[in-house]
Amino acid sequence: MNTLKTILSGFSLLCCLLVSAQKQDSPAELPYSNKIELRDQALEALFQAQVHISLEMAPGFHLEGEIRNKTDHGGSVVSLLIQVESHPGGMLSISRYSDPKGHIHYTGHLMKLHEPEGLMLVEKDQHYYFIETQQRFLVAE
């Protein structure tokens, strides 16, 4: 009986360790498996592109794709939808908006429906990152 208890306790501890091993210091408070810091101006470059995009967003993270849709709500909010070829079938949805103080912010996601993981754009200390997280935290049923 004691052996069973020991095994169960050990198993529980292992499970807890596995759960806590997933990083969770992201600004979006989502557990994530990878964090990519984007180059300064990389996001703005997306909004300056015409149709085709080929851009080094971060060291080792090259974005290749085509703009499928661009919506401009009077300049205060501009949204882009980019079909990303470097992540086959994936779509990058990204918006640029200015807050009441005139500061520019970006929000966005890169995902392919029904894939296990996707990327979410987050801002921390005036830097932008893509965090790789489970897609169920980005799209829910």
Partner 1 sequence: MKRSFSHIALCLLLMIQIHSSAQVPILNSYSPADATVYLDFDGAEVDGTIWNQEGKIVAEPSGLSPATITWIHQMIADHFKLFNLNITTDPAVYERAPVHQRTRIIITPEGNWYGPVSGVSAIGSFVWGDDTPAWVFIHALSDNPAFIAAAATHQIGHTLGLQHQSAYDSYGLMISELSGGENNIFSSQAPLMGIPFYKAADWKNGHPSTGVQNIQSDTAMIAGAPNYIGYRKKGEGTVTGDNTVKIERQDPGSLALNSPGNYSYRLFDISGRLLTQGILKTGYNEIPTSRSSSGVLVLQWQGESGSGSEKILH
Q: Which of 2, 29, 116, 125 is close enough to bind partner 1 by CB under 8 A?
A: 29
Contacts of 30 (CB under 8 A, 6+ apart): 24, 120, 131, 133, 137
Is the Cβ–Cβ distance between 132 and 121 less than 8 Å?
no
Residue 101 beta carbon to partner 1: minimum distance, rounded to whole angstroms: 14
* String marking each residue 63-102 x if it binds partner 1 according to CB under 8 A: -----xx-x-x--xx-x-x-------x-x-x-x-x-----
Tell me which residue has tokens 């306790």. 9
Contacts of 61 (CB under 8 A, 6+ apart): 36, 38, 130
Between CA 104 and CA 46 the distance in angstroms is: 14
Considering the complex, state which of residue 59 and residue 103 has its C-beta at the smaller distance from partner 1.
Answer: 103
Q: Which stretch binds partner 1 (CB under 8 A): 24-32, 41-49, 53-61, 124-132?
A: 24-32
Between CA 137 and CA 62 the distance in angstroms is: 24
Residue 38 structure tokens: 């984007």
Q: Which of 38, 46, 111, 119 is close enough to bind partner 1 by CB under 8 A?
A: 111
Residue ranges that bind partner 1, judged by CB under 8 A: 12, 15-16, 19-20, 24, 29-31, 68-69, 71, 73, 76-77, 79, 81, 89, 91, 93, 95, 97, 107, 109, 111-114, 136-141
